[in-house]
Chain A
Amino acid sequence: MQMLSFLARRILLAIPTLIGVAVVTFFLIRVVPGDPVVVKLRADGAPITEATIQAERKRLGLDQPLHIQFVDYMTGLARLDLGRSLWTGQSVAEEIAIRFPVSFQVAVMATIIALLIALPLGILSAVYRDTWVDYLVRIVAVSGLAIPSFWLGMLMILALLSLFNWLPKIGYVSIFQDPVANLTALIFPALSVGYRYAAVATRMMRSALLEVLREDYIRTARAKGVYRALVVRRHALRNALLPVVTVVGLEFAFLIGGLVVTEQVFNLNGIGKLFVDATTRGDFTLIQGLVLLIAVIFIVVNIIVDVLYGLLDPRIRLS
């Protein structure tokens, strides 16, 4: 019951933020000096005359005054209608729905990779503090923060080409159709965005564990004669996981942003590529839809993190 009311309140609180995001994006992108209609006509090879521009504007509803466009857009949103892409004429929701699975899968795979790397490395680094293990892990982590993920992706392609003369097939197949092709195509993008993610999580795991290991109850447990490994596993780890969960959650939302660049390197047709296309084409409605989607993911992940907090640490009441 408490959980339900917590969720309800959080979702209600998210609505003003989302409306804010929608309003800000709407007006921000309409300050664009370039005219999306002209860009579109030029790409279509259509004659650019005053008449064609006016006709196209009318067709897309861009001839309406700004406040009417705004009211149209907001009432559309209230009915969960994101509008139609100015470029393709497809519904924005559909355009996103086609692209979303690829990006989502890469993001999930990157998270798994990050956790698989970060938890053991972070624990090792904290337990063997100031030994060569610790230094090695810290170097790996600091370089993870410094290497641009798109460059890491390029290096992987370079290595695959020169070592095996092989590249994963371009094009996305659903994991349910052909799991092998799906995974070989997506593992490298996932690795290249996952490395940075792992670095952030490793640093957090290390510092959180170090902090907990200084607590009195750890000393008590050790004084009772409990093995160090057991103290770390039973007493320290559970308490150190909280900040790690926060960081992993926050980074997950930003992972979608990181994919913007990496998808270009691997030629993946995900929402990152869609976003780059939308900004270069000045596709207002598509940009609005994508920004809203990212904001929704951000908020949902935040709520999940808060729920996990309550589960991991019963002292934290959901409030």
Chain B
Amino acid sequence: MADVAARPAAPTLPRRPNVVLTFVRQQPLGVIGFAIILMYVAFAVFARQIAPYDPEEIDFAFMLGAPSTEHLFGTDQFGRDVFSRIVYGARTALAVGVLSSIFGCTLGALIGATSGYFGGRVDMIVQRFVDIMLAFPIIVLAMVVVAVLGKWPVFGVDLNLVIAIALPFLPKMARVARSSTLAIAQMPYIDAARAAGYSHTRIVLRHIMPNIMAPYLIMVTAFIAQAILLEASLSFLGLGVTEPTAAWGLMLAGQSADFYREAPWMVLFPGLAITLAVFAFNLFGDSLRDWLDPRMKG
């Protein structure tokens, strides 16, 4: 063994660490969050295979059935299988959550980057608008927009609901993107790009946007959690997803106190599904933030 140690080390460049492996090693909690997210994704994609019953099938013979081997989480007041509705509900939650978060953050990042890049009067006007939008609590803004837009179902997803949930995220992302852009706009490579005669559009899209990817990704995952909560709240109020579509918030809606005692599983399981999903995205989002941007660690 001695001669092995004595042999001079081959002059190799330091190997680039495997991205996935370092994340797994440094952020074990994030991995747990990601695993739960994967479970929900599986629910959403393979709902038909996983769910034992049709989520919309009404069976008055099994009304308010307690959890059993046949109905794992019991049945609701229409005899529908609660577990199947939760599995299908993952589709609604993920579709609305992911779409609205990406939509709101992308638009917000573009607006923020443009505003920060141009500065001056453009910046001032945009920031005033952002101020106005920030003065609305998230749910209030979403409710007004839902009421205004009505429904626009595309492939079973209400796109207007997506827009309503995305809108409150827009000003927050715009703020973050703007402050990152202000620092980037001072960089020599931006001067170089300008000197090379590139158009403003190209500089914003090709030179600034890729450099605000870290805060963008952090915000997207954080907002998915919030979007899922918001969708559940709106559906609970009867303003989001409507019957008979399976959605977690909707499953909790209109539960009068009589049902509470008679069928507590109707209250327990959909709420648990929401909580676990939001928890997973928060956990993953926090780890992603610590990993991508240690300065923002909190």
Interface pair B140/A154, CB less than 8 Å apart: no
Interface pair B232/A148, CB less than 8 Å apart: yes
Contact of B144 among A143, A150, A291, A295 (CB under 8 A): A291
What separation, in Å, do the CA atoms of A205 and B150 have in the docked complex? 41
Contact of B236 among A34, A157, A264 (CB under 8 A): A264
Closest B residue by C-beta to A167: B257
Interface pair A279/B257, CB less than 8 Å apart: no
Determine if B118 is an interface residue (Cβ-Cβ < 8 Å): no
Q: Which of B129-137, B179-187, B200-208 lies at the binding interface?
A: B129-137
Interface pair B275/A150, CB less than 8 Å apart: no
Determine if A33 is an interface residue (Cβ-Cβ < 8 Å): yes
Instruction: Report if A150-B252 is in contact (Cβ < 8 Å); known contacts: A157-B260, A161-B257, A294-B137.
Output: yes
Interface pair A161/B135, CB less than 8 Å apart: no
Determine if A172 is an interface residue (Cβ-Cβ < 8 Å): no
What separation, in Å, do the CA atoms of A157 and B252 have in the docked complex? 13
List A247-274 residues whose CB lies under 8 Å from chain B.
253-254, 256-258, 260-261, 264
> Which applies to chain A's interface (DSSP): helix, strand, loop or mixed?
helix
Closest chain B CB from A166 CB (angstroms):
12
Interface pair A32/B252, CB less than 8 Å apart: no
Interface pair B282/A142, CB less than 8 Å apart: yes
Interface pair B237/A148, CB less than 8 Å apart: no
Closest chain B CB from A154 CB (angstroms):
5
Contacts of B28 in A (CB 8 A): none
Interface pair A260/B282, CB less than 8 Å apart: no
Determine if A21 is an interface residue (Cβ-Cβ < 8 Å): yes
Determine if A8 is an interface residue (Cβ-Cβ < 8 Å): no
Interface pair B261/A162, CB less than 8 Å apart: yes
Closest chain B CB from A132 CB (angstroms):
15
Interface pair B137/A21, CB less than 8 Å apart: no
Contact of B237 among A17, A161, A162, A276 (CB under 8 A): A276
Determine if A226 is an interface residue (Cβ-Cβ < 8 Å): no
List A119-163 residues whose CB lies under 8 Å from chain B.
142-143, 145-148, 150-151, 154-155, 157-158, 161-162
Interface pair A17/B132, CB less than 8 Å apart: yes
Query: B190-215 CB contact bits vs A (8 Å, 1 = yes)?
Result: 00000000000000000000000000
Contact of B132 among A21, A147, A254 (CB under 8 A): A21
For B135, B279, B286, which residue has the most chain A Cβ atoms within 10 angstroms? B135
Closest chain B CB from A18 CB (angstroms):
8
Determine if A298 is an interface residue (Cβ-Cβ < 8 Å): yes
Interface size on A, residues (CB 8 A): 50
Determine if B283 is an interface residue (Cβ-Cβ < 8 Å): yes
Contact of A260 among B140, B225, B286 (CB under 8 A): B140
What separation, in Å, do the CA atoms of A287 and B257 have in the docked complex? 29
Give the interface size class of chain B: 35 or more
Instruction: Report if A151-B139 is in contact (Cβ < 8 Å); known contacts: A145-B282, A282-B147.
Output: no
Q: Which of A22-30, A40-48, A98-106 lies at the binding interface?
A: A22-30
Closest A residue by C-beta to B278: A146
Closest chain B CB from A290 CB (angstroms):
8
Contact of B229 among A148, A157, A264 (CB under 8 A): A148
Closest chain A CB from B175 CB (angstroms):
13
What separation, in Å, do the CA atoms of A34 and B237 have in the docked complex? 19
Contacts of A25 in B (CB 8 A): 144
Closest chain B CB from A300 CB (angstroms):
11
Determine if B244 is an interface residue (Cβ-Cβ < 8 Å): no
Instruction: Report if A295-B136 is in contact (Cβ < 8 Å); known contacts: A148-B233, A148-B275, A161-B260.
Output: yes
Contact of A147 among B143, B255, B275 (CB under 8 A): B275
Contacts of A261 in B (CB 8 A): 139, 233, 236-237
Determine if A299 is an interface residue (Cβ-Cβ < 8 Å): yes
Contacts of A290 in B (CB 8 A): 140
Contacts of B298 in A (CB 8 A): 203-204, 207
Contact of A29 among B132, B148, B236, B255 (CB under 8 A): B148
Contacts of B282 in A (CB 8 A): 142, 145-146
Contacts of A151 in B (CB 8 A): 252, 267, 271, 274-275
Closest chain B CB from A215 CB (angstroms):
16
Task: Identify 9 residue pairs between A and B in the complex whose beta-carbon atoms are under 8 Å apart, listed by A's number.
Answer: A20-B129, A28-B145, A146-B276, A157-B257, A158-B268, A207-B298, A258-B137, A294-B137, A298-B135
Q: Hey, which bits of chain A sit against chain B, CB under 8 A?
A: 16-17, 20-21, 24-25, 28-29, 31-34, 142-143, 145-148, 150-151, 154-155, 157-158, 161-162, 167, 203-204, 207, 253-254, 256-258, 260-261, 264, 275-276, 279-280, 282, 287, 290-291, 294-295, 298-299
